[in-house]
Structure 1
Amino acid sequence: MSQQPPLVRFAVLDDDEALSRLDRDTWSSLHAVVEPPAPPHPPFFSGRLGPRDHLVAELHGRVVGYIRLARPTPLPSNAHVRQVQGLAVATAARGHGVGRTLVRAAVEESRRQGARRITLRVLGHNTPARTLYEAEGFVVEGVLPGEFLIDGEYVDDVCMGRSLLGGARRSAGAGDS
């Protein structure tokens, strides 16, 4: 892969197979809490999350990553928040800024949509993802200890977020015990 920056765009219906394949190729217990689906593989897009909920990264015209950005709930009182609900980067494209570019694009798209906050959940043992999110201004706002049993080990579910009103900032009272 070259060092050119990836092109980021909204997904389109024609990306379904490429994104489904990317999900299968990048599946790992480092970030997944469920086993990958067995063939035949379901469509990538669903009635709840379609192309406009996904930003896609391309290098040389090839899909090499995506980030899923959605409202965390349908509640009007929560409409000011966007949530990263998935991030995948092709193995060959890792180390070329694709993940960072997608996270930054998600932050900007959230702002464009009028959101005031962006949140995500990441497994505690997923150090590469946590490092990326922290470098992009996300802070730990809570931890659900031992929330998932993966490969015989109990793994924390780490809740992270950042303000979209300027620099990264911790929400008042978040994570306080």
Structure 2
Amino acid sequence: MDAPKILSLRPVRTAVPGDETGLGELDRATWSTLHSVQPRPAPPYEPFFGDRRPPGDHLVAEAVTDQGALLAGYIRLGRPTPLACNAHVRQIQGLAVAGWARGHGLGRTLLRACAEQARRQGASRLTLRVLGHNGPARALYEAEGFVVEGVLPGEFFLHGRYVDDVLMGRSLSL
């Protein structure tokens, strides 16, 4: 089957329970050692949503394509800790864009929607973690105002080499 051709993009929306199958498939299709420290998912697959990852923590991007409306990407926004003293911080805990949908600005669109959602939740700060060897993601985050706030050198051993865990953050003040 040929890759879908994007005809238009729908506004980013909050995920609903019915998105679970599609988001699980998208997550597995975009799995890469460029951004994941977990082994490649294998059947039986874990549910995409869970107690710590409810639908409401996910924003999704949909595209109208020549093959119908398809989930094209998602971003997960959560709290880094349950502590009251940390309630002003939100953390990006996952971002994926389908291979066929890359190059249309969806990653940037999802990041901006996520920042707006975090502001609506009362957050004043947004953080994330990215693997040091993921240059494209780091460039996107930097273009959206994130700065490196810390590096855990050699935190992960992936495919025979040590990889840094890079901590990035940005203010949500306008």
TM range (shorter): over 0.9
SS in 2 for 1:58: strand
CA–CA separation in structure 1 for the residues paired with 2:75 and 2:165: 19
Deviant stretches of 4+, over 2 Å: 1-7
Q: 43, 47, 54: which is aligned to 1:43?
A: 47
Structure 2 match to 1:55: 59
CA–CA separation in structure 1 for the residues paired with 2:128 and 2:25: 23
> Please, which runs of 5 or more residues in structure 1 have no aligned partner?
167-177
Structure 2 match to 1:136: 144
5 Å-filtered alignment, 1:17-166, equals 17-60=21-64, 61-166=69-174
Higher strand share: 2
CA–CA separation in structure 1 for the residues paired with 2:97 and 2:10: 11
CA–CA separation in structure 1 for the residues paired with 2:107 and 2:148: 19
Contact 2:20 / 2:47 at 8 angstroms: preserved in 1? yes
CA–CA separation in structure 1 for the residues paired with 2:56 and 2:43: 26
* Higher mean C-alpha deviation, range 78-87 or range 32-41: 32-41
Tell me which amino acid in the other structure corresponds to 1:137.
G
Contact 2:7 / 2:63 at 8 angstroms: preserved in 1? no
SS in 1 for 2:153: strand
SS in 2 for 1:7: coil
TM-score normalised by L of structure 2: 0.93
Structure 1 match to 2:11: 7
Contact 1:6 / 1:101 at 8 angstroms: preserved in 2? no
CA–CA separation in structure 2 for the residues paired with 1:78 and 1:25: 33
Q: CA RMSD in A?
A: 1.0
Contact 1:3 / 1:96 at 8 angstroms: preserved in 2? no
CA–CA separation in structure 2 for the residues paired with 1:111 and 1:64: 24
SS in 1 for 2:148: strand
TM-score normalised by L of structure 1: 0.91
CA–CA separation in structure 1 for the residues paired with 2:15 and 2:127: 21
CA–CA separation in structure 2 for the residues paired with 1:122 and 1:22: 19
Tell me which amino acid in the other structure corresponds to 2:43.
P
Tell me which amino acid in the other structure corresponds to 2:58.
H
CA–CA separation in structure 2 for the residues paired with 1:159 and 1:27: 21
Identity %: 66
